[in-house]
Amino acid sequence: MLSVTHLQFNYSKTPVLDGINFSLKPGENLAIIGESGSGKSTLLKLIYGEYDLAQGKIFWKEQQILGPKHNLVIGYDFMKYVSQEFDLMPFISVEDNIGKFLSRFYPEEKQKRTTELIKVVELEDFAKTKVKNLSGGQKQRVALARALAKQPEIILLDEPFSHIDNFKKQSLRRSVFSYLKEKNIACIVATHDKNDVLGFADKMLVLHQKKIIANDTPQNLYNNPKLPLIASFFGEFNVINGKVYYAHQLKIVEKSDLKGIVKANYFNGDYWLVKVGQNSNTIFINHSTPIEPETQIFFSFQK
């Protein structure tokens, strides 16, 4: 398994991560979330061995992960890291980029593996296309496939679908994460997108102010968000009497002790998000139809 204990890291004299402890089993999917600057990408780079730790230890099974002070070449054969900079070879094709590091002594196996991964990242129509002619999202998919080519034991993904448009993103997530489970490849995903987490992650780790403030299943964190920061990752929320409620947990009723004035309506597909002013607070409520601004409404909690 991956074991991270008492990890501490500073950029120059600025603390970035402090007292980080967690573990990950082979084949598990861990999502790391947090605001910009919370240390998500830095943590991935530390696990990959790109930086030296100020304090603490990182192990994958029996192998200690060490930084550049100890390793002439950064990284380990059993681990791959896909950053937001793709580092591809622009003047060769998609299939050549993916198959570049596979053995030439087994050409049939190399071609089979390359074809399989091109299908996983849904680039069948672009196999012969030079990478320089691809869009940013297509390049991101090539980088994913190339990282998987030698079937690592663990893969680190930094915002892996950030450049990919919504037309492809949903099916691509399903394809990639299903492949990782099938091959028992452990995965750590640093993300700001709840759709990278819900339905895929076994655990979710929340970073805030250099610390881990939550480490649980996505289901538990979604159903019991102890802090507004956690609720904000999943959707629109309200804090009422010190407790966090999602917009869908409130309903508009004929009469209640809770009331406010409608300020705006936002169409969200199968519901409208109604913005309500309540004294100096703003409340968000999911509703089936828009409501005329400046209308007084009453609301209560869903049972």
Answer yes or no: do 219 and 241 share one domain: no
pLDDT at 293: 97
Answer yes or no: do 242 and 216 share one domain: no
Q: CA–CA separation, 143 vs 70, rounded Å?
A: 27
SS3 call for 18 = strand
pLDDT, one tens digit per residue, over 166-211 is 888 999 999 999 999 999 999 999 999 999 999 999 999 999 999 9
Q: Which two tokens stand for residue 287?
A: 């509703």
**Neighbouring residues of 67: CB distance < 8 A, sequence distance ≥ 6:** 46, 49, 50, 51, 52, 53, 74
Question: Dihedral, CA atoms, 47, 48, 53, 55, nearest 10 degrees?
Answer: 20
Answer yes or no: do 33 and 104 share one domain: yes
Say if CB 82 and CB 156 are below 8 A apart: yes
CATH number, domain containing residue 279: 2.40.50.140
Say if CB 276 and CB 285 are below 8 A apart: yes
What is the pLDDT averaged over residues 116-136? 93
**Neighbouring residues of 280: CB distance < 8 A, sequence distance ≥ 6:** none
State which H helix or E strand residue 22 sits in. Answer: strand 14-24
Q: Report DSSP letters for 205-216, one per residue.
A: EEEETTEEEEEE
Name the band, by pLDDT with cuts 50, 70 and 90, for residue 288.
very high
- Range of 118's domain? 2-223
Q: CA–CA separation, 300 vs 273, rounded Å?
A: 16
Answer yes or no: do 217 and 261 share one domain: no
Helical axes 136-148 vs 107-120, angle rounded to 10°:
130
Q: Which two tokens stand for residue 62?
A: 């029996």
Could you tell me if residue 132 is inside a domain?
A: yes
Answer yes or no: do 63 and 147 share one domain: yes
- Number of domains making up the chain: 2
pLDDT, one tens digit per residue, over 145-173 is 999 998 999 999 999 998 888 888 999 99
Name the band, by pLDDT with cuts 50, 70 and 90, for residue 15.
confident
